[in-house]
């Protein structure tokens, strides 16, 4: 029994949905199909989810979101026409969207979540109807009926443990189950969405709940590559990597698979197979618990920009009990989270996402560190990129750090900081954003 999730690019048009049907029909073990909202048909197109978000925002501002809702209905209508689906399906979608657009707005976030989740929900209805038209037993099932219950938290929606037992009952449903991704329901019955690209999370939750043999994630690339193809031409494809390696790479900018989506599959020990809807015969990439380290120390290199660092120096810092707690408490007061903390005996560096330092919060944070902690020196560096060199094999190879450092030096890239995780699965280099691509190319050519 398999769960197959299809992303927005795989469902952007009727032609794409026909490919999805052929893939699902080709393997009788693909009982569960998790779908995203229709994505872009071309580079100039707009995703359905983006149209829904803008319609909700316009309505909340007191403007008219109706034209955008009609654009969404037209998108579904064009897909239905390509697939020769009954007009009744589109009539139902229009009625659903109209009801959501004019629903209670007293809780703006709930209102927004309900409207943007409708992209996946209505697409699931449409796809189930197409499967039925092709003579396959299939049904749309809403997450509320299935028992997908989520935590009522602002900004970080998580599945509640009791959901898994409820989802297991879906195994007994007849035919193929078409399930909308991206959202669940609170105990009070409100719709809450996962973070963007959250359909990956739904697929992983469902795979865990129904105890699937495999979670297949179909997207628009043949594999996860060892490095960003926009930075290095024709990079090596990764055939197999561990959950931990994928988590590190996703954190640092690999957008093929949502990093939070690994958790439910990882906990259940379910392998994840990333495949291409447009080329299902390609080998793809498998994410597993363990693998043979036969490819050398490094499996992939990823990067992300938009970071800053706060360097704090104080003589005899290591003897001052509670210094670290006080420092992090200052960040907490401003709602700022840190990413890494490389440290020495008399100094510590906090790596942060730069976007958190809005307005005058940076000046206030620096001022409090100086005044309350009596720091000798506080220096802020902006516009940093973090480069992650990842691989389980690094634990068993000598000299990986030396090779990486030499490659960066030969490319005339200055290392602002370096940090190796305690798991020894990754090492992080901080460089100036302007040196990011040069650094990635140098590291790729060294290890691959």
Cα torsion 388, 250, 267, 150: sign: positive
Which residue from 225, 249, 227 is spatially nearest to 237, judged by alpha carbons?
Answer: 225
CA distance 89 to 80: 8
Place of tokens 């390609």: 282
Q: What share of the chain is helix, strand, coil (3-state, %, to 5)?
A: 45, 20, 35
120 annotated as ligand-binding: yes
* Helical ranges in 374-419 per DSSP H: 400-410
CA distance 59 to 49: 15
CA distance 217 to 204: 9
CB-CB neighbours of 178 under 10 Å: 24
157 annotated as ligand-binding: no
Which residue from 439, 447, 446 is spatially nearest to 303, judged by alpha carbons?
Answer: 439
5 annotated as ligand-binding: yes
8 annotated as ligand-binding: yes
49 annotated as ligand-binding: yes
**HSE (CB half, 13 Å, CA atoms) of 259?**
12
Inter-residue contact 236 to 448 (CB < 8 Å): yes
CA distance 387 to 146: 41
CA distance 206 to 272: 13
164 annotated as ligand-binding: no
Enumerate the known binding-site residues. 5-8, 49, 120, 219-220, 225
Enumerate the known binding-site residues for substrate. 49, 120
Enumerate the known binding-site residues for ATP. 5-8, 219-220, 225
């Amino acid at each position: 029994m398999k769960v197959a999730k299809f992303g927005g690019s795989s469902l952007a048009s009727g032609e794409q949905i026909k490919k999805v049907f052929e893939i699902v029909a080709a393997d009788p073990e693909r009982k569960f199909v998790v779908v995203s909202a229709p994505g872009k048909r071309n580079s100039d197109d707009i995703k359905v989810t983006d149209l829904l978000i803008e319609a909700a925002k316009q309505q909340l501002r007191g403007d008219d979101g109706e034209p955008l809702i009609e654009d969404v209905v037209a998108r579904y209508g064009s897909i239905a026409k390509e697939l020769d689906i009954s007009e009744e399906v589109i009539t139902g979608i229009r009625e659903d969207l109209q009801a959501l657009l004019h629903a209670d707005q007293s809780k703006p976030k709930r209102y927004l979540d309900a409207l943007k989740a409708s992209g996946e929900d209505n697409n699931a209805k449409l796809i189930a109807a197409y499967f039925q038209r092709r003579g396959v037993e299939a049904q749309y099932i809403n997450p509320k009926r299935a028992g997908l219950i989520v935590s009522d938290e602002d900004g970080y929606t998580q599945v509640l443990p009791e959901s898994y037992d409820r989802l297991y009952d879906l195994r007994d449903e007849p035919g193929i189950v078409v399930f909308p991704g991206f959202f669940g329901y609170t105990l009070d019955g409100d719709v809450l969405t996962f973070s963007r690209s959250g359909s990956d999370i739904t697929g992983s939750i469902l795979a865990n709940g129904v105890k699937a043999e495999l979670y297949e994630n179909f997207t628009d690339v043949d594999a996860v590559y060892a490095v960003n193809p926009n930075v290095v031409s024709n990079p090596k494809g990764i055939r197999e990597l561990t959950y931990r390696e994928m988590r590190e790479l996703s954190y640092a900018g690999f957008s093929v698979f949502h990093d939070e989506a690994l958790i439910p599959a990882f906990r259940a020990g379910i392998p994840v197979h990333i495949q291409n809807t447009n080329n299902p015969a390609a080998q793809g990439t498998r994410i597993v618990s363990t693998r043979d380290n036969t490819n050398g120390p490094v499996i992939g290199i990823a990067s992300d920009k938009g970071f800053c660092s706060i360097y704090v120096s104080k003589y005899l810092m290591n003897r001052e009990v509670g210094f670290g707690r006080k420092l992090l408490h200052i960040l907490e007061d401003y709602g700022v989270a840190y990413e890494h903390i490389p440290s020495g005996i008399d100094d510590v560096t906090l790596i942060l996402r730069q976007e958190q330092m809005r307005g005058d919060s940076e000046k206030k944070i620096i001022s409090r560190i100086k005044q309350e902690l009596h720091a000798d020196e506080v220096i802020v560096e902006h516009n940093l990129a973090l480069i992650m060199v990842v691989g389980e094999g690094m634990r068993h190879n000598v000299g990986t750090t030396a090779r990486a450092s030499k490659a960066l030096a030969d490319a005339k890239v200055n290392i602002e900081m370096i940090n190796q995780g305690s798991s020894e699965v990754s090492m992080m280099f901080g460089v100036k954003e302007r040196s990011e691509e040069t650094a990635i190319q140098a590291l790729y050519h060294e290890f691959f």
